[in-house]
Amino acid sequence: MPCEFQENAMYRTLALVMSLVVLAGPAQAALAQAPTTADTVAPAVVIEDVERFYRIYDAAGGMPTAEQLQREYLDQGSEGLHHFARLRRVSGEAIATTLDTRPELYEEARNCMRVMPQVKQRLDQALRKLATLYPETNLPPVTIVVGRGKPVGIGYPDSGLQIGLEALCAVEWMNPDMEDRFVHVIAHEYAHVQLAPEAAKLEQPTVLERSLMEGAAEFAAELTSGSTAYAHFEALTRGREEEIETAFQADMGKTELSDWLDNSSVESPGDLGYWVGYRIVKAYYQNADDKRQALREILRMEDPKSVLAESGWYPGIRFP
């Protein structure tokens, strides 16, 4: 069990973060009904679920049961946590299993909370830029939650934005700088919130469709926050651009995604579809005369085949 000093320090950190960036309870619910727009650019960062998780965690000496986690953490959670749990199969049993096999994920995740005030400040600047470039921007609260070790984050037009604290803290291969990692990933997920509803609800997207959705989010993150979320791809793909993209081109119409998407883990990178999608989107934007309209088409991603056709992209394309 953490010593009293460590536990108190944890709650002091949480209290500081909450005083700077958080809405909770009724205020959170009200804000969820009225998402931030270009007129009011500072969305709330909600961490009430993190605070509750660590109270349960510490009271149980770092070993809460599946039943405790379900009843006291998930069932009592915020609307954002309920969305996250439903969409990504997070249950008390799943969290307890990960706690048993990877306990360090949850202990190390405490440290990430210390960067949240700086993250919030930088995120406000990035989202202000997004709202300027795309006045239709929808900016609901971002809910920080604790999950089962994955995913690092999700964003949808109808359910807002949730970040898995322990998962995002652990994926150092994405970006070794913790603060940068949070800023760029949250900026990436906010781009997903701008998707056209019909695009977000595709039941069997092709490799091209999913890759362009992710590539759009990567491009928007770079445009607004200064870097893509998956910055490690530059070194991973250097010298292999044509080889990788030729293989991608052959698979674009497939609905089996696992060679290109959803194949990363805490320990190792994957998801090369994000990288190819980003390059197609970047080519589309650079090739467009009307950049503002191009960004709208990128964020909404209503016609992926048209984006590909008008991008001028080809395997191994080089950018200025």
pLDDT: which is higher, 8 or 73 = 73
Examine residue 151 and say whether the peptide bond preceding it is cis (omega within 30 degrees of 0). yes
Q: Is the pLDDT of residue 42 over 90?
A: no
- Length of the chain in residues, anyone? 320
- Give the pLDDT score at 4: 36
pTM, two decimals, is: 0.86
- Give the pLDDT score at 31: 41
Q: Is the pLDDT of residue 114 over 50?
A: yes
Distance of CA 223 to the CA centre of its chain: 16
- Give the pLDDT score at 158: 82
Strand 153-156 relative to strand 160-164: parallel, antiparallel, unpaired?
Answer: antiparallel
Percent of the chain with pLDDT over 90: 75
Q: Give me the mean pLDDT over the 58-65 stretch.
A: 97
Strand 142-145 relative to strand 45-46: parallel, antiparallel, unpaired?
Answer: parallel
Q: Give me the mean pLDDT over the 301-305 stretch.
A: 97
User: Rounded to whole angstroms, how far apart are CA atoms 319 and 302?
Assistant: 25
- Give the pLDDT score at 201: 87
SS3 content of the chain, % helix, strand, coil (to 5): 60, 5, 35
Reported as a single tens digit per residue, the pLDDT across 87-96 is: 999 999 999 9
Long-range contacts of residues 65-71, Cβ cutoff 8 Å, at least 24 apart? 65/92, 65/96, 66/91, 66/92, 66/93, 66/95, 66/96, 66/97, 67/92, 68/92, 69/95, 69/96
Q: Is the pLDDT of residue 122 over 60?
A: yes
The residues spanned by each domain of the chain are: 4-194, 202-311
> Given pLDDT bands bounded at 50, 70 and 90, which one contains residue 266?
low
Q: Give me the mean pLDDT over the 268-284 stretch.
A: 93
Q: Is residue 41 within 8 Å of residue 128, measured between CB atoms?
A: yes
Reported as a single tens digit per residue, the pLDDT across 197-256 is: 889 889 899 999 999 999 999 999 999 999 999 988 988 899 999 999 999 999 999 999
> Given pLDDT bands bounded at 50, 70 and 90, which one contains residue 163?
very high
- Give the pLDDT score at 238: 94
User: Rounded to whole angstroms, how far apart are CA atoms 277 and 260?
Assistant: 10
- Give the pLDDT score at 267: 62
Looking at every residue in the chain, the average pLDDT score rounds to 88
Q: Over the Cα atoms of the chain, what is R_g? A: 20
- Give the pLDDT score at 38: 53
Q: Is the pLDDT of residue 1 over 80?
A: no
